[in-house]
Amino acid sequence: MTDSTRQQTAALSRSLAEMAEGGLAARIRLEQAARVVATARRAADLAAAGALRLPGTADPAVQAVTEIARHWDATAITAFEYVETLPEAVVERLLRAAPAWAAAFRPATAPDRLAA
Task: Classify residue 76 by its DSSP letter.
Answer: T
**Average pLDDT score over the chain:** 89
Domain boundaries, given as residue ranges, for the chain: 23-103
Q: Are 56 and 108 in contact (CB under 8 A)?
A: no
Residue 50, φ and ψ in degrees, nearest 5: 85, 10
pLDDT in tens, 52-71: 888 988 999 999 999 999 99
Buried b (16+ CB within 10 A) or exposed e, 57-79: eebebbebbbebbeebeeeeeeb
Say how far apart CA 3 and CA 89 lie, in whole Å.
Answer: 42
**Confidence band for 109, pLDDT divided at 50, 70 and 90:** very low
Question: How do residues 7-48 score in pLDDT, each as one tens digit?
Answer: 999 888 888 888 888 778 888 999 999 999 999 999 999 999
Judged on CB neighbours under 10 Å (0-12, 13-18, 19+), 43 is: buried
